[in-house]
Amino acid sequence: MKLRIAAVGKARSGPEVDLIQDYLSRFDRTGRSLGLGPVSVVEVEAKRGGMPEEAKLLERAVVSDSPICTLDERGKVLSSPDFAQLLAKWRDQGMSEPTFVIGGADGIDATLRARADFSLSLGKMVWPHLMVRVMLSEQLYRAASILAGSPYHRN
């Protein structure tokens, strides 16, 4: 099952981008034998029109009929094993290219949030969107490691 990250803003070179690439590469290597991966990243431009304009661009980045998972502080907080099970469930249900949506500075427009199949929170704090990409990338790798029975995740 391929995955997609659709995010507002362009990531330039730097330590966050290095971490994202490292974790997504690890995810690809670990997930391949599990039927997970690769992950593609689609970046959309931050718009002056704000969330409604960004939502239109983010919606275009979603593969039709694929699940949408928004990263939102109002979403559900999952443990890493529960997140791994969510990915496994989508894979086992034959979902095509679930898309994780990361909004811009103001968040994700309510209409796109309402369309989401799942909303995931990384906690009650608000994080810069590049850090959200890093944390999501790490959790994808951690989920693949959990499903593979790797010792990377320790309870």
> Does the bond joining 67 to the residue before it have cis omega, within 30 degrees of 0?
no
Q: Which residues of 102-126 are buried (b: 16+ CB within 10 A; e: fewer)?
A: bbbeebbbeebbeebeebbebeeee
- Alpha-carbon distance 1 to 30, whole Å? 13
- Domains along the chain with CATH numbers: 3-148 (3.40.1280.10)
Q: Within 13 A of 45's CA, how many CA atoms are on the CB side? A: 4
Question: Beta 118-121 vs 39-44: how paired, if at all?
Answer: unpaired
- Tell me what pLDDT residue 154 has: 80
Residues 6 or more apart whose CB falls under 8 angstroms from that of 86 comprise 78, 118
Task: Tell me the mean pLDDT per 10 residues along the chain, length 155.
Answer: 95 94 98 96 88 92 92 96 98 95 93 96 91 97 97 82
Overall pTM surpassing 0.75 (yes/no): yes
Residues 6 or more apart whose CB falls under 8 angstroms from that of 21 comprise none
